Amino acid sequence: MRRKSAAAAALPILATALWMLACGINGAEPQVIAPQTGRPTGEYIETGDMDRLAARGKIRILVPPQLEKPYLPRGGSPLDSERSMARAFVRETGLQPKIVQVEEYKDLIPWLLEGRGDVIAASYTITPKRARLVDFSDPIRSVVEQVICRDDDAAIKAPEDLKNRIIAVRRSSSYWDSVISLQKKYPGFFIEAAPERLDSEEIIYGIARGDYDITVADSNLAQAVFSYRSDLRIAFNLTKSRNIAWAVRQNSPKLLAAINSFIATSAVGHQHTDMYRADMPEIKERKLLRVLTRNSAATYYLWRGKLQGFDYALARKFATGQKVRLEMIVPPDRNQLIDWLLEGRGDVIAASMSVTDNRRARGVAFSDPYNYVDEVLVARTEDPLASLADLNGRRIVLCRNSSHWDTVSDLVRQGYGIDLEAAPDDMEPEDLIDGVANGTYDLTVADSNILEIEDMMRDDVRAALTLRKDVPVAFAVRAADTRLLHELNRYVRRSYRGMFYNMTKKKYFSNKRQIKRRVPARTRNTGQISPWDDTVRRYAQRYGFDWRLMVAQMYYESKFNPRAESSMGAKGLMQVLPKTYRSLGFREVTTPEKGIWAGIRYMSILRDRFEADVPATERTWMAMASYNAGYGHVLDARRLAEQLGLNPNRWDDNVEKAMLMLRYSRYARRARFGYVRGDRPVKYVNEIRKLYNAYAETVPR
């Protein structure tokens, strides 16, 4: 192999320095140090072209910094969509995709040039400054940069209205140069350099909170945010259309050619607002399946940075088998699922939808059933209701367009004296169940699988009567899309009640284990809590935690089993997910010490992500809730707490209350990270605190 010249070898370093200088970013570039080796993270440095990448068997995709998904993908989420496209491209080459997260946005080009990644897929705008250092692919989409302000900020409608205002953007972003150019034409406003660790949506949220005055965002990102936020608005367009593309090193013509070939034959520029009707051949051609769903515990949600849900898992398996990308699309409310399907905003509905003649009459065709549920009457636990005769004079609240409305209407026609009341159309079954539990409603009807999930979290409601048994649940498509329907039927027949199906169904509907947590009896007698007390002490002291609290968390996570592994892949004594411990610099957590180190270090990172003016104890509880549910869900809970007049800087009875409310659709649909089973992190914090208090009573600090 021909050796590089010294000058050629120095090019990445020189280019990195030029990039840092061009962006006005001073200081040494930070590195993540792998604790077990002392070396920077990443398996290797590689600056070669496609042949060198093929020899290694991987293509590394550089993406922005994040500890978890940037938000729940509802359709059109730019970063998530682009990451999915990049993975699809790499797999098409026959290689393995490897996601590499940079530490800050400004690191994207330096890491690429240094050989720590091979492709930047970060919703990256083509600019002259960047094009001097990297080669860009053909455009994957076009966007317009837009000025964003609060909805109640009516003063800004045009550039001349910016006088004495402050625009906050990252210095390394394309927006920075755009704002500099604007300032030359319209002097009198100020530019604030937002932290490089923040993504654009976090800055947008800062506008809503009042942390920043004004910002700039790409139109596709703004569209994704505005689909569930109403407290922001677009003031005006800052630029004309600009192209988004992927970036590679300038000595990678073969890699660039492969990317451009993929772009030319794929619908990588698709955005969820496109409306078209596609049967299976066109879906295959576009290499994209758009699935309409709901954001709920049974269907699709985000948990600890990982997408979950029974319907989502089945849809993902189908898309993988068809070798197409999956895009999940969540309409503003469940009543729009069929409307959006018929309009061409999606290709399939996978939303635990029961099969009814009324839905067929609207032009929908159903696949073979992939599940069967009972329609059950939901009453409070103490309600003595025991037969249909007991329904006389009772009030049942339901959404008018649900299949349950038809079921209860039949009972009314049969002569039962039921007062049938229509609930607001945007309410989900979980909202109605909660209304029964708290006494707002008398009775409601739910599918048995939904009530099974609720039963895992509460004991104040019950299935009083079964109104219909074995109601089929199926995928829905447009009646004209016969080829897609055929493929879905083949998939259901092959997978129904197979190993994957049974394990998935059990995971979401049947796992009712209640693990008992208790303080080990030996603690009071020996003064020892776990076999690893000394190790926990050492790392707890390093990162500023009471070691007994960390031991309590460790027991709750693994019951002191260093070989514990969850169904989601979390490993070790502190049950750290692989993507998390790798982002911290650990290749594995195969020893007790590494598991403890990774878990406590992750706790410290989460704690430090909350503002310094939040009391230290409150930051600890919120970090612990983040450890369990994900940092994003805790941020959503803090925002909701503030909106409700609660204290966003206090966990007990404040953020804790808001966290519980995020399991209801009326709050979840406006949250960045969407639905969350908020009782889990609340219970997690409370149970660990109980253990900690017990340890603190018997074991000295």
Burial of 383 (0-12, 13-18, 19+ CB in 10 A): middle
- Tell which residue, 165, 184, 185, 167, has the closest CA to residue 176: 167
Yes or no: say if 378 and 451 are a contact pair by the CB < 8 Å rule: yes
DSSP secondary structure, 407-476, as one string: HHHHHHHTT---EEEEEPTT--HHHHHHHHHTTS-SBEEEEHHHHHHHHTT-SSEEEEEEEEEEEEE--E
Residue 437 · residue 380 · CB < 8 Å: yes
What are the residues whose beta carbons fall under 8 Å from the beta carbon of 27, sequence distance 6 or more? none
Strand locations in 371-460 (E) = 371-380, 395-399, 419-423, 444-447
Phi, psi of 467, rounded to the nearest 5 degrees: -90, -35
Task: Kindly report the number of other CB atoms within 10 A of residue 551's CB atom.
Answer: 26
Active site residues: 557
C-beta neighbour count of 276 within 10 angstroms: 13
CB-CB contact of 145 with 218 (8 Å)? yes
Contact 447/373 with Cβ under 8 angstroms? yes
Distance of alpha carbon 683 from alpha carbon 322, whole angstroms: 40
Query: b/e string for 608-622 if b means 16 or more Cβ within 10 A?
Result: ebbeeebeeebbbbb
Pairing relation of β-strands 145-150 and 232-237? antiparallel
Task: Give residues with Cβ within 8 angstroms of 197, minimum separation 6.
Answer: 65, 103, 104, 105
Task: Residue 11: name the closest of 301, 299, 251 by CA.
Answer: 251
Neighbouring-strand partners of residue 373: 471
Among candidates 211, 30, 12, 212, which has minimal Cα distance to 106? 30
Measured between alpha carbons, how far apart are the two ends of the chain, in Å?
60
Q: Contact 508/408 with Cβ under 8 angstroms?
A: no
